[in-house]
Chain A
């Protein structure tokens, strides 16, 4: 299976790093789409097939928690795994994300192995070294 991945972060630097890390994981990736906030992400989801979302929480316009709620509240999107990649580590935001149905979270700063390990437990296809 090839994955279409959506990266959501207001930092272009983080999106570039995540792109590089994803390419290193061995996951079969067809496309990597990018959005700078939750609203942009919803626009992309409305027009494209996405199999995995990695999103920041603290973003302008629409934050990652609101985006997660929108994804989990839509019948056509609710099965898409959403991983929070965030500086937030407190119960208030991470706990809320998990309650809303996030597949997991990775704390910034992150290593490539942390991203790979998290995705290995989430994606149906094996993650190859």
Chain B
């Protein structure tokens, strides 16, 4: 199995598991696409988490405001009707869990990887661009009559800095 196959498989499983466990929702993956050109313009909510280490990239989830509200409502068991801080936080955290699950799976093959803090964007007609040239694996998912999209790219890091995944070095001091 190639790394691309492994990445796709673990990404799909992570999405299904996270939605099932955190939202009690069954999602179904659609046709996979591979993109390397300029991204389309987005409307709605987009959350992404960076991955760093000997391999580097990012994972992101994008959805409509309606789906974002639905995610938040089901996650927090309280009705959300407009995109607010809770909604953005819920989508960001869900994305964090998905990318974190993929990262943990891939670490057995690629060695230690670090995750960034999630970032979430809400707006209309915005575009995103990665500084790298890696190919994105893109997979839409359906959730009843709703849809959302998950994408991820990962490529060998040509000059990886020493990974400081967590914790602190000898120079850091913590005062209590």
Contact = CB atoms under 8 A, between A and B. Distances in A.
5 contacts: A17-B22, A65-B167, A70-B174, A93-B167, A109-B101
A42 interface: yes
Contacts of A12: 85-86, 89
A96 B167 contact: yes
Interface of B: 17-18, 21-22, 72, 75-77, 85-86, 89-90, 92-93, 96-97, 99-101, 103-104, 107, 112-113, 115, 117, 163, 165-168, 172, 174, 176
Nearest to B168: A66
Q: Interface residues of A toward B: which range?
A: 35 or more
B52 to A, nearest CB: 12
Interface string A51-81: 0000001111011111001100110010000
B141 to A, nearest CB: 16
Given A42-B176, A87-B115, A89-B104, A17 B75 contact: yes
Contacts of A31: none
